[in-house]
Amino acid sequence: MNDSKQHKSAFRSAHVEAKDAEQGVETPQTLDPAYRLAFQDTEFLLRPDLRPVRFQLELLKPELLLDEANIATTFVFYGSARIPEPASADALIQMAATDQQRVIAERLKAKAHYYDEARLLARKVSRIPPDAEGRRQFVVCSGGGPSIMEAANRGACDEGQESIGLNIVLPHEQAPNEYVTPSLSFRFHYFALRKMHFLLRARAVAVFPGGFGTFDEAFELLTLVQTGKVRPLPILFFGREFWERVVNFPALVEEGVISATDLDLFTFCETADEAWDAVCAHYAGSEEDPLAGC
């Protein structure tokens, strides 16, 4: 935390106390885990009973750091971790060992242009200057991983701007992509807290073709807007052909499980230009326009 934001106190700081605690006399009492300061005792913090505390910490840490970075609003990118960059698409096909793998590789190649569209959209939104109070608007935010997420962070980097990555611990090895700003690269244990941080500052969300993770994030957002938990915002589904092939939206209306007006919660688009036009149209004349005063 910045020194300017720390309150002066008569008590010694936790930093000083923690440092002093590491320099003690070694006795059977001081060597026992029970003697450790609670906030330095990892085994204690990882107990099932401490889950509520871990929830709070995972909510609080990114919130404080994003506040300190003066980030007011974000432009969130959801999408597959498997769609290749166009330059790598042919190599993916060449690696296919079976006919089925080749068909899948060709379909991924057909979606590779969305990498470029995500990168271009991120470049567009990264050109928005801070507002009159110096608060940063439409800061690019992705899941911090490869593919579409990488394209988003890369687009911001192209413009010399910082961007956010919200990574998560998974059983298989995963690391943030190289374009995420290190000081805005966060790691989560809980999917629920990660998804909350995606939306706390979001003023627009681009949803590119993706799998279970993209579905989870996108349809939770639609549910939150549908139920009034989140104010309406631009939700941009890239790739109408893909989405209408994997989800029969009209059938949901016909079955009576959603209303016809629920289909107006999101907009189909194919290009970064279409997406940006939809965002500008949504906020035109709005009191909550993130672009106002920039």
Cα–Cα distance list, 226 to 131, 215, 260, 266 (Å): 30, 16, 12, 11
Residue-wise pLDDT tens digits, 178-209: 999 999 999 999 999 999 999 999 999 999 99
CATH (domain of 215): 3.40.50.450
Question: Which pLDDT does position 23 carry in this prediction?
Answer: 82
Q: Mean of the pLDDT values across residues 261-274? A: 98
Mean pLDDT value of segment 46-57:
96
Domain assignment present for residue 12? The answer is no
- Tell me the C-alpha distance between 234 and 228, whole Å: 15
Query: pLDDT > 90: what percent of the chain?
Result: 82
Whether residue 22 lies inside any domain: the answer is no
Does residue 60 lie in a domain region?
no
d(CA 107, CA 101): 10
Looking at residue 292, its pLDDT comes to 63
Domain count, the chain: 1
Reading the block at residue 284, the tokens are: 């035109």
pLDDT at 17 over 50: yes
Residue 170 sits in which domain range?
Answer: 70-86+112-283
Q: Is the pLDDT of residue 47 over 60?
A: yes
Residue 116 has pLDDT above 50, yes or no: yes
In a domain, 118, yes or no: yes
Residue 15: the pLDDT is 85
Judged by phi (left if over 0) then psi (alpha if -120 to 50, else beta), residue 79 lies in: left
Q: How confident is the model at residue 267 (pLDDT cuts 50, 70, 90)?
A: very high
For the cut 80, the answer to whether the pLDDT of residue 290 exceeds it is no
Q: Is residue 18 assigned to a domain?
A: no
Residue 27 lies in a domain: no
Query: Does pLDDT of 55 surpass 80?
Result: yes
Domain presence at residue 197: yes
